[in-house]
Amino acid sequence: MQVSELIKNGDKTLQQIGEKIVAGERITPAEGVLLFEKGSLSYLGMLANYVREKLHGNKTYFNRNFHIEPTNVCVFSCAFCAYSRLYAHREEGWELSTEQMMDIIRGYDNKPITEVHIVGGVHPKLNLAFFIDLMKQIKAHRPSLHIKGYTAVELDYMFRKAKVSAEEGMKLLHEAGLDSLPGGGAEIFHPDIRQQICADKVDADGWLNIHRTAHMMGMHSNATMLYGHIEKFEHRIDHMERLRQLQDETGGFNTFIPLKFRNKDNDMSHVPESSVTEDMRLYAVARLYLDNFPHLKAYWPMLGRQNAQLTLSFGVNDLDGTIDDTTKIYSMAGSEEQTPAMSTAQLVTLIKQVKRQPVERDTLYNEIRDYSNVEVKDIDVDPSLN
Ligand code: SF4
C-alpha cells in the first residue's frame, strides 16, 4: 500500500499533518501538540517509521563506549534526581581522583572502544583546571579515544566559577581534548516546569548558549528531554521547538535522546511513570517534529532492552552503546537495568531480532562496521568484533 493511502485518516487535521510530513514539509508547534493529543499509536508509528526509513533505511546504529562518572556530589537538588548527594553528605557519594579515572581509561587499553562519555554531579571543588588536566591526560594516553563530556549544567557552573565566558571555557576544554558534548541537563526548558523540577541550575537560554558555543567551534553535541512527569504536551513541543530553532541556526546537533522520568528514590516519587504506549508516542512525535535532527536515540539503560527494541518501529535509529556497566544514573532511579552492559553480540542480536540492520558507528556517526552479514557466534569468538 502506498504511504498516501496509509496517511488517510478519519480526522482531517491529522491527515493534513500526515500529508505535510510525507511531502517533507515542517509541522508547526500547534500541529505537534495535536499529534500528541489526537494521534493514535499506529498512526504516529507509521509516520515516524516512514521518516526514519527515508533517512536511514533499516540502519540502526550503536557504538562501543563506556562512561566515567567523576562524582555524584552535586551543588544542585533537582527534584527528579536519585543519583546526587549534596556536598554536606558527600561521604554517601563518590569522588574519583584523576588517577582513579585514568585507571578506568587504562582498563580499556587494547579494547576496541571508540568513546568515553564523562558526566556526573556538579561538584563545587572539581573545577575547570581539574577537568582540563583530565582531558590532557586521557588524550596523552589514548589520542584516538573520542571524549564526549560534561552536560551544559556542569559546564555552566565550571565556567562561572572560573570566571570565564562560555567561549573561553569551551576553547580551553576543546584544546585540551574535549571532542563533543552529551545532551544532558536539558530536562524541560519551559520555565513553568523547570522552576518546579530543577529551579537552581542553568536555564533554557543558558543551556542552549553552551551548545551554540560548542557548535560555533565546530564541536557536535546531543540534546535530551526528560519527559513523562509533570510536563504537558505543550511543554514537550516548546522544548523541541527551541532545539529545532538552534539546529536551524548551527546544524551542530547529532542526536535527540528522550529520557524517561523514573520515580524511585527521588522527591517526585509520587508522580507516576509514563506507560510504554506513551513512551512510543513520544518517540514518534519527536521524530516527526525534529525534522532537522539526523538521529533519534533510545537510551536502553533507561528504557530497558525490550522497550528500546520497540522504539525501532517508532522513529528511533540509534541504541547508544555497550556501556559496560559504567553508569549509575538510571539504575539508581529505578530502571530495570541495574547493571547496564551489553556485549556487541547482544546489541547486534537485539537489532537483528526486529529485522533491522546493525551498524557500529563512532560518536560522529562515521560507520565503522556493518554487522548485517556477521554471524553472532563469530562476534563471540573474534576479539576484533566484540
Ligand atoms: S540532575 Fe544533575 S544537576 Fe540535578 S541534582 Fe542530579 S546530578 Fe545534580
184 lines ligand 1 (CB under 6 A): no
> What atom of ligand 1 comes closest to residue 201's alpha carbon?
3
The pick from 118, 196, 198 for probing ligand 1's pocket by mutation, whose C-beta has the most ligand atoms within 8 angstroms, reads 198
Q: Given this model, what pLDDT does residue 286 score?
A: 98
327 and 67 Cβ atoms separated by less than 8 Å: yes
C-alpha 181 to ligand 1 mean position (Å): 17
Rounded distance between C-alpha atoms, residue 153 and residue 156, angstroms: 5
119 lines ligand 1 (CB under 6 A): no
Q: How confident is the model at residue 376 (pLDDT cuts 50, 70, 90)?
A: confident
C-alpha 204 to ligand 1 mean position (Å): 15
The answer to whether residue 220 scores a pLDDT higher than 70 is: yes
- Residue 149's SS3 state is strand
Tell me which amino acid residue 209 is.
N
Helices 166-176 and 204-216, packing angle to 10 deg? 50
Rounded distance between C-alpha atoms, residue 46 and residue 5, angstroms: 12
pTM passes above 0.85: yes
Q: Given this model, what pLDDT does residue 12 score?
A: 92
Look over the chain and give the mean of its residue pLDDT values, rounded to a whole number: 92
Rounded distance between C-alpha atoms, residue 241 and residue 290, angstroms: 8
333 lines ligand 1 (CB under 6 A): no
63 lines ligand 1 (CB under 6 A): no
Q: Given this model, what pLDDT does residue 140 score?
A: 98
123 lines ligand 1 (CB under 6 A): no
Q: What angle do CA 303, 308, 314 make, to 5 degrees?
A: 120
- Residue 226's SS3 state is strand
Rounded distance between C-alpha atoms, residue 207 and residue 190, angstroms: 12
Q: How many CA atoms lie within 13 A of 299 on its CB side?
A: 24
pLDDT in tens, 55-91: 999 999 999 989 999 999 999 999 999 888 888 888 8
Tell me which amino acid residue 75 is.
V
Burial (CB count <10 Å: 0-12, 13-18, 19+), residue 349 = middle
C-alpha 74 to ligand 1 mean position (Å): 6
132 lines ligand 1 (CB under 6 A): no
Q: Whose CA is nearest to atom 4 of ligand 1?
A: 78
74 lines ligand 1 (CB under 6 A): yes
153 lines ligand 1 (CB under 6 A): yes
C-alpha 81 to ligand 1 mean position (Å): 6
Q: How confident is the model at residue 330 (pLDDT cuts 50, 70, 90)?
A: low
Q: How confident is the model at residue 178 (pLDDT cuts 50, 70, 90)?
A: very high
DSSP conformation class of 73: B
121 lines ligand 1 (CB under 6 A): yes
302 lines ligand 1 (CB under 6 A): no
**295: how many CB neighbours lie within 10 A of its CB?**
21
